[in-house]
């Protein structure tokens, strides 16, 4: 890319004698709704900092606005004019749109940031009108866009081709979006799955005191009010049995429509924990689903008055079907949400049911399959042998794939489109004379990716807490670079507990000799003593290690409260028999940088003309793994 050097602007510091302003780099990120364009733009901006993101949604006009994603509603001329100004280093005015009132409400000034990067984000970002103004063209496909196509294709069977489904659900894609994606310089296939890696946390209660006063009063000048219509669609040919996980949720707010699959969430204590799983679609998507045989089984109106405080959102929500008002605290951090509830003096009683569940119960329909229940029933010896992988939500059909399934262009062919997300079923317990309470979790015989493993691990902790009580002591083990620490921190964020690294138990003399990976480098006696203290007294003095001075730097008081009830130990040797016998849940993590390094070495050797097996690499680069680490991972409850 040839950088554009802009002329110095009069009156700016250093203008005299300067060669010009830094170049402006324009990036267009296009793709179908739900593919992950906006997430990618935000992540790029977070890495570079000071990036101007121009959303094409703000360039909608009255013409065709009711269609939500109709190309005729985009003011390409105004967008192109704004881009031309930014490229020349000029400030420009971007339109602002009120999506509830369906009209343009004003203008916002855009200035070139210090990074000089401008990102255009939208389904039509690679349109021919804009392409000549873009230095970098990025196409994003996949994501929830493909997930929805996969689900619909499974729900209705083989009666419709993939192209027919695309035209029904996303009628503008093949004609107005897909052709432009082929002009991209960078093509991204987003293999997104619904993930709890970055969830949001909610506390919910009734927004009314016994005397009729409201818990929280909003300043009208600082709050926003939005009206939503939420609809839940049942698949065609589905039985009358209520299965929320099979439903599709469509939410309308003004001219904007949002969609999510199922009612995915975790309930921990009083917190509702949800993944960020909603994505915007056009109005035609709802019509397409109804035409394909989906039916609206539940619909209600939700009025939400909100105020934002940094990362926290406080909302008063009224549900017409329930004729009640609720106060909701929502944010990306469990601690921030809990602290705000404490500051407001709100102590509940908290409600953990979704509005959908509350409406179903008000109609006499029992609560069903979300979140999955925990079973404390012991398995008999004969039942232990029958433990199997949790059944998928939707059983795959026995069909022979058509030739067309394998020749679809990269822009529309969902990878593994007949594979559905597995249902993470309930945990079972089996007798064990060596563990506390004489029962232990039954190990799952399959391995899972990080997102499913994270959800399963949290559900396992909830199962042990319900069955055995607190404290629950969790161990996460695996080779260096596999992602143990990342998983531990994500679990801790969801559950609200602390993580103790086995690196705190290094012996100073071993570290000085750089024997980090050896089991003998750990003070196992102190570690097992601390675990025993946490088990019996719920507190312990945990060592602190100074890696710069290669010595132990005192101890810190650690305590497990009954409110949380969980502590996580993580390290290479956490699942060693001498340690894991004192733990309630064993989690093995493999892959990550560890596996990538092995693959990279094998590739480099092959390119140099040498043949080398992964086993040879393992014994050379990770000599301790196969002998001292791997044997302890196979007995994990979840991997």
pLDDT in tens, 520-539: 889 999 999 999 999 999 99
**DSSP per residue over 594-619, as a string?**
HHHHHHHHHHHHHHTT----HHHHHH
CA-closest candidate to residue 477, choices 596, 271, 625, 629: 629
Q: Which residue has the higher pLDDT, 205 or 195?
A: 205
- Whole-structure pTM value: 0.71
Cα-Cα-Cα-Cα dihedral of 245, 251, 257, 262, to 10°?
-10
pLDDT digits (tens, 9 = 90+) for 119-154: 999 999 999 999 999 999 999 988 777 888 888 888
Assigned architecture for domain 25-190: 3-Layer(aba) Sandwich (3.40)
The CATH number fitting domain 428-586, selected from 3.40.462.20, 1.20.1440.60, 3.40.50.2000, 3.40.50.300 = 3.40.50.300
Structure tokens given for 481? 């670079």
| CA–CA distances in Å: residue 236 to residues 263, 290, 293, 357, 458 | 18, 9, 5, 21, 33
- Would you state the pLDDT for residue 230? 93
Cis status of the peptide bond prior to 349, with omega within 30 of 0:
yes
Q: Which residue has the higher pLDDT, 360 or 592?
A: 360
pLDDT digits (tens, 9 = 90+) for 29-70: 999 887 888 889 988 988 888 788 999 888 887 654 444 447
Report the 10 Å Cβ neighbour count for 202: 22
pLDDT digits (tens, 9 = 90+) for 356-406: 989 988 887 654 444 444 444 444 444 443 333 333 322 233 333 443 444
Ranges of each domain in the chain = 25-190, 200-362, 428-586
CA-closest candidate to residue 435, choices 584, 587, 634: 584
Q: What percent of the chain shows pLDDT beyond 70?
A: 80
Rg of the chain on CA atoms, in Å: 28
Q: Which residue has the higher pLDDT, 388 or 550?
A: 550
The sign of the torsion formed by the CA atoms of 331, 336, 340, 341 equals positive
- Most confident of the following: 70-84, 254-268, 419-433, 526-540: 526-540
- Would you state the pLDDT for residue 12? 47
200-362 and 428-586 in the same fold: no
Class of domain 200-362: mainly beta
Residue 416 has pLDDT above 50, yes or no: no
Q: What percent of the chain shows pLDDT beyond 90?
A: 27
Q: Cβ contacts of residue 479 below 8 Å, gap of 6+? A: 572, 590, 594, 622, 625, 629, 630
Q: Which residue has the higher pLDDT, 569 or 224?
A: 569
Contacts 24+ apart (CB under 8 A), 58-61: 58/94, 58/95, 58/96, 58/97, 59/95, 59/97, 60/97, 60/255, 61/104
Mean pLDDT, the chain, rounded, equals: 79
Report the C-alpha gap between 454 and 488 in whole angstroms: 9
Report the C-alpha gap between 395 and 161 in whole angstroms: 20
When pLDDT is averaged across residues 492-508 and rounded to a whole number, the result is 91
Structure tokens given for 431? 């007798």
Q: Give 476's pLDDT tier (boundaries 50, 70, 90).
A: very high
Report the C-alpha gap between 41 and 136 in whole angstroms: 13
Decide: 589 and 490 in contact? Cβ < 8 Å. no
Phi and psi at residue 580, to the nearest 5°: -65, -20
Q: Which residue has the higher pLDDT, 407 or 539?
A: 539
């Amino acid at each position: 890319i040839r950088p554009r050097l802009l002329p110095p602007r009069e009156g700016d510091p250093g203008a005299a004698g300067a060669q010009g302003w830094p170049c402006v780099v324009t990036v267009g990120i296009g793709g179908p709704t739900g593919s992950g364009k906006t997430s990618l733009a935000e992540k790029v901006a977070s890495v570079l900092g000071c990036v101007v993101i121009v959303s094409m949604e703000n360039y909608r006009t009255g013409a065709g606005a009711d269609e939500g994603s109709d190309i005729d509603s985009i003011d390409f001329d105004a967008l192109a004019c704004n881009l031309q100004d930014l490229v020349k280093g000029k400030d420009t005015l971007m339109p602002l749109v009120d999506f509830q009132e369906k009209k343009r409400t004003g203008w916002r000034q855009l200035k070139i940031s210090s990074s000089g990067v401008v990102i255009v984000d939208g389904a039509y970002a690679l349109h021919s009108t804009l392409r000549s103004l873009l230095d970098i063209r990025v196409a994003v496909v996949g994501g929830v866009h493909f997930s929805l196509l996969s689900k619909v294709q499974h729900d209705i069977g083989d009666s419709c081709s993939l192209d027919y489904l695309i035209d029904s659900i996303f009628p503008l894609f093949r004609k107005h979006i897909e052709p432009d994606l082929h002009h991209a310089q960078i093509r991204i296939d987003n293999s997104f799955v619904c993930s709890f890696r970055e969830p949001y946390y909610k506390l919910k209660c009734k927004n009314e005191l016994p005397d009729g006063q409201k818990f929280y009063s909003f300043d009208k000048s600082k709050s926003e009010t939005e009206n939503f219509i939420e609809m839940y669609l049942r698949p065609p040919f589905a039985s009358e049995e209520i299965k929320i996980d099979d439903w599709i949720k469509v939410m309308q707010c003004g001219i904007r429509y949002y969609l999510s699959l199922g009612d995915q969430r975790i309930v921990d204590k009083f917190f509702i924990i949800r993944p960020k799983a909603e994505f915007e679609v056009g109005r035609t998507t709802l019509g397409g689903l109804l035409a394909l045989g989906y039916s609206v089984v539940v619909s209600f109106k939700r009025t939400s008055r909100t105020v934002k405080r940094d990362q926290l959102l406080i909302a008063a929500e009224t549900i017409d079907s329930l004729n009640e008002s609720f106060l909701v605290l929502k944010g990306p951090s469990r601690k921030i949400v809990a602290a705000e509830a404490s500051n407001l003096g709100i102590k509940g009683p908290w409600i953990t049911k979704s509005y959908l569940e509350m409406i179903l119960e008000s109609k006499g329909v029992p609560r069903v399959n979300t979140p999955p229940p925990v079973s404390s029933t012991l398995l008999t010896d004969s039942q232990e042998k029958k433990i199997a992988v949790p059944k998928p939500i939707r059983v795959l059909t026995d069909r022979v794939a058509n030739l067309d399934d394998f020749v679809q262009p990269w822009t529309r062919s969902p990878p593994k489109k007949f594979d559905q997300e597995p249902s993470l079923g309930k945990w079972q317990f089996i007798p064990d004379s060596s563990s506390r309470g004489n029962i232990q979790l039954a190990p799952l015989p399959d391995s899972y990716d990080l997102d499913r493993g994270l959800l399963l691990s949290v559900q396992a902790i909830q199962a042990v807490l319900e069955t055995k009580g607190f404290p629950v002591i969790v161990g996460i083990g695996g080779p260096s670079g596999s992602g143990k620490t990342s998983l531990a921190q994500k679990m801790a964020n969801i559950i609200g507990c602390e993580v103790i690294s086995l690196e705190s138990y290094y012996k100073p003399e071993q570290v000085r000799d750089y024997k980090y990976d050896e089991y003998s480098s750990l003070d196992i006696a102190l570690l097992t003593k601390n675990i025993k203290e946490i088990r019996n007294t719920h507190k312990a003095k945990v060592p602190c290690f100074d890696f710069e001075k290669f010595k132990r730097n005192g101890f810190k008081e650690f305590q497990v409260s009954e409110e949380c009830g969980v502590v996580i130990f993580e390290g290479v040797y956490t699942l060693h028999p001498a340690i894991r016998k004192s733990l309630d849940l064993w989690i093995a993590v493999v892959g990550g940088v560890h596996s990538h390094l092995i693959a990279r070495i094998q590739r480099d050797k092959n390119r140099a003309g040498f043949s080398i097996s992964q086993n040879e690499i393992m014994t050379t680069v990770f000599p301790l793994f196969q002998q001292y680490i791997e044997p302890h991972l196979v007995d994990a409850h979840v991997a």
